[in-house]
Amino acid sequence: MTTPLPPPEGFSIGHWTDREGATGCTAIVAPPGSQGGVDVRGGGPGTRETDVIGPLAGPAEVSAVMLSGGSAFGLAAADGAVHWLERHGRGYPTPGGRVPIVPAAIIYDLVEGRSGSRPDADAGYAACDAAGPGVPERGRVGAGTGAAVGKIHGRERAAPAGVGYAAARTGTGFTVAAVAVANAFGDVIGAGGEVLAGPSPEDGREGSISTAEEIATMEAPPDWQRIEERNTTLACVMTDATMTKAQCTRAARMASGGVARAVEPVFSDVDGDVAFLLASGAAAPADRFTSIAVGTLAARVTAEAIRDAVR
């Protein structure tokens, strides 16, 4: 497998991992002055400070994004990122000092390890401390430590997943990279429509069966007591292009198209999918074509990062 392109210059990615507790968090630290947008889908999202980076909100900077396990408890990891950023003189300027803006989103992994093991502020601080440039560590680390996909028959037949990464460049030279955490109710699907990761067959054979086909042919609902009803695919796209907040929001929506390419079924009542997009460029005025190009590649690299998360 070839080494993917690194993230855009100035972006740093780091993990805190609790392997015994099967949970963790992942920090994406953005260069100062970065713009951001978010697209929230599905019936059960767990988020923090997504409204403040919306196109109608006042603050014009995103300091970092925190992706975390631990369900709602894991949102506390963003507190650690805020303290880390403050200590390093980063954040949105206010009359009383800089205030770091750290949107966050979580996955539900409480049944994978110890339910009492949850990323907290110390974990978020440690993830930021560990953040560095270059291609991040992938697999069952950080926010993806306790992740799984294909849960229609319960966790015991689900496929393990984790953190994935992919990157590409536009024809004009901008880098578009994505970090994804795959923890979907549905399966991860390859570019040709094949199931890359889904529930294992009932008879214990190797391979995966299709959740979508199972749903299409079921004559009665599955045993809902065995289904973890809190599932999420998270993605954070990074680019060095110059984009407005509104353009970041639209490109984040386009990135959600990449989630739909790689996960089936997707955006369901039992999923809480979230896609962030961060843009660090400030060298030239934003233009419409750049945001379209970034959004197009955002969908592509998001889909590839999700597939990478199960490889």
Please report, as a single letter, which amino acid is at residue 80: G
Report angle CA 241, 261, 42 to the nearest 5 degrees: 90
Per-residue confidence (pLDDT) for residue 228, from 0 to 100? 56
pLDDT digits (tens, 9 = 90+) for 24-70: 999 999 999 999 999 999 788 999 999 999 888 877 789 999 999 99
Class of 12-308 per CATH? Answer: alpha beta
Residues near 115 by Cβ (< 8 Å), separated by ≥ 6? none
Residues near 296 by Cβ (< 8 Å), separated by ≥ 6? 254
pLDDT digits (tens, 9 = 90+) for 69-89: 999 999 999 999 999 999 999
Cα gap 306→311, rounded to integer Å: 9
What is the reported pTM?
0.95
Average pLDDT over residues 119-148: 98
Question: Taking 90 as the threshold, does the pLDDT of residue 283 lie above it?
Answer: no
Long-range CB pairs of 213-222, under 8 A, 24+ apart, other chains included: 214/152, 215/152, 215/265, 222/152, 222/153
Question: Taking 80 as the threshold, does the pLDDT of residue 175 lie above it?
Answer: yes
